[in-house]
Structure 1
Amino acid sequence: MSLITLAVVGKDNNPLYIRDFGSDSVYEPAPEQLTEQDPFGFFESQASSMSESSSLKNQFIMHSALDRLEELTNDSSSTERSSAGLNSMWIGLLGCFDEAKVYGYVTSTKIKFIASIEDIEEGNGNFVREAGLKVLFANAHELYVEYTLNPFSQVRAQKMMSSQRFDNGVDGLVTNFNDSFGKKGMSWM
């Protein structure tokens, strides 16, 4: 099981960040982009962003999952959640699309995190993988909060995120998730 796509969607359902993590979607920024524009990774990159690198198929899957997420979160019975911590924002499995399972996470400010992972039946591995996804979502949420605390971020303008620091943090989270729960070198496309 490896993570295929991660998306961050704004409260008005506008995409803030979407990125594929398959073996064929490798992004390598130019060295001058890393050092000249922002040596510390605090400001947004003006060059091409990794958050624009997502296949049309994966974008369609994310949009379909967003529709399901909206159905689940707009339900009157789900507005009052009794759990606390990671479970209060965890939505869980949104559906299976092709060879991917899609999971969701919604913050109290209605920012949505959606991830698709390869769908390989492994028996009781679902519970372990879901625990890993909860941690991945919580850490991605923390990275998002750090991004929004930057006074130069364009999050209020609801534009696509293009922060090198956020990208590097997400890279680390996805690498850790794939190393712990995935099978290296697997690609579903």
Structure 2
Amino acid sequence: MAVCVAVIAKENYPLYIKASTADNELKFYYTVHSSLDVIEEKINSAGKNANDQRELYLGLLYPTEDYKVYGYVTNTKIKFVIVVESSNTTLRDTEIRSMFRKLHQGYVDMLCNPFYIPGESVSSKSFSETVISMMQQ
């Protein structure tokens, strides 16, 4: 389902990036990096309307010829980016939201580890298994 999953720190450096193939890994790094501007723009435009409660799911950030990039931001400004193939037309918005909820829950479970220092690269096996299961669905 997903071809790339990334977790980005609030200071916009990658904590975790996993691509489905090693062939296009550099392309996915570029795709995730270029999505950060769109994420910041959506966060800032939502922040202007202070009466609205901020939606964590940002939706489709931008489509390319081959992929669609979706975004999600936690309350602590940790950003999740999922890249899916554009040819996958059966993918619904509810399924993407479900993937982000699963990813967020895996991240929270990893944060509960007392040996993890927030802001360091994610090296948790259970988190990696969660991401790999999302890519194999």
TM-score of the aligned structures, taking structure 2 as reference length: 0.87
Task: Tell me if the contact between 1:61 and 1:97 (Cα under 8 Å) persists in the aligned partners.
Answer: no
What are the equivalent positions in structure 2 for 1:114-133 lying under 5 Å apart?
114-120=81-87, 122=89, 125=90, 128-133=91-96
More strand by share: 2
RMSD: 2.2
Please give the alpha-carbon distance, in whole angstroms, between the structure 1 residues aligned to 2:24 and 2:15.
13
Task: Tell me if the contact between 1:19 and 1:54 (Cα under 8 Å) persists in the aligned partners.
Answer: no
- Read off the aligned partner of 1:161 and give its amino acid letter: V
Task: Tell me if the contact between 1:72 and 1:78 (Cα under 8 Å) persists in the aligned partners.
Answer: no
User: Relative contact order (C-alpha < 8 Å, sep 6+): which is higher?
Assistant: 1
SS of 1:72 mapped into structure 2: helix
What are the ranges of 5 or more consecutive residues in structure 2 without an aligned counterpart? none
Equivalent residues, number: 136
Q: Deviations over 1:19-59 (max 9, x none)?
A: 102xx44xxxxxxxxxxxxxxxxxxxxxxxxxxx9711110
Please give the alpha-carbon distance, in whole angstroms, between the structure 2 residues aligned to 1:92 and 1:171.
21
Rg larger in structure = 1
Is residue 140 of structure 1 aligned with residue 110 of structure 2?
Answer: no
Shift of 1:8: 0.6
Distance 1:171 1:112, change over 3 A: same
TM-score of the aligned structures, taking structure 1 as reference length: 0.65
The structure 1 segments of at least 4 consecutive aligned residues displaced by more than 3 Å after TM superposition are 76-83
What are the ranges of 5 or more consecutive residues in structure 1 without an aligned counterpart? 26-52, 177-189
